[in-house]
Amino acid sequence: MDDARIDFEPFVDEPVRQFIVNGVDNFNMAAFGLPIYFPANFVLRSARGEILGGLLGYIWAGWLWVNYLWVTEGERGGGHGGRLLDAAEAYARERACIGAALDTHNAAARAFYERRGFQVVGEIADYPPGHARTFLQKRFG
């Protein structure tokens, strides 16, 4: 298409973002013959229903991928991060996953995951400068 243009859009609206994400996901599912995908999202709430944190991820190709794990500052240190991760791992095991994977820029988060059995499988140094982006995995079984 010769008249196709590229527009800079710093704040892409949700339908456009989802169209692009679905395009990549559908391509990968077809290319690898692995069409089974499960969202793996868990929300930590107060007794009044207030959101205190959560884990957002998905299961695909026999792995749990954790995109985000976060707990509000006031609730940190209470074991909630571990509980969220345990719930996601249990869900993944129910679906016969072989492991879980994630990445982090935070040294304290890296230590948290390593205490929970994750191992470093890669790192990008100085991303951001003076720090690293660390990739971790945990094999089940």
Sheet (strand 51-60) strand order: 37-45, 51-60, 63-71, 99-104, 132-139, 119-125
The ranges assigned to domains in the chain are: 14-139
Q: Tokens standing for 68?
A: 């985000």
Cβ(88)–Cβ(67) under 8 Å? no
Question: pLDDT by residue (tens digit) across 24-73?
Answer: 999 998 999 988 899 999 999 999 999 999 999 999 999 999 999 999 99
Question: pLDDT by residue (tens digit) across 87-129?
Answer: 999 999 999 999 999 999 999 999 999 999 999 999 999 999 9
Q: Tokens standing for 4?
A: 């196709």
Reply yes or no on domain 14-139 having CATH 3.40.630.30.
yes
